[in-house]
Amino acid sequence: MTRQAKVDKELCIGCSLCTRSCPKSFKLEDDGKSTALAPASDSEECVQKAIDECPVQAIS
């Protein structure tokens, strides 16, 4: 089962790295911030890559 990520909206800067890496697990909202989709549909490795690549550590 793929890990369910959480995005801290206060930290998110809307860079879209996560949405480009894992488009089935993250999306940009109208406010320009990312949100995690439930359930995450990308692989565990993909979600972990998005967590690791977030420049402001907004994803956990």
1-60 CATH fold: Alpha-Beta Plaits (3.30.70)
- Give the H/E segment covering residue 51: helix 44-53
pTM exceeds 0.75: yes
Average pLDDT score over the chain: 94
pLDDT at res. 3 = 73
Tokens at residue 38, please?
Answer: 């439930």
Q: Tokens 């890496």: give the residue.
A: 21
pLDDT at res. 9 = 96
pLDDT at res. 30 = 97
pLDDT per residue over 12-31, tens digit each?
A: 999 999 999 999 999 999 99
Degrees, nearest 5: CA angle 44-20-54:
70
d(CA 55, CA 38): 22
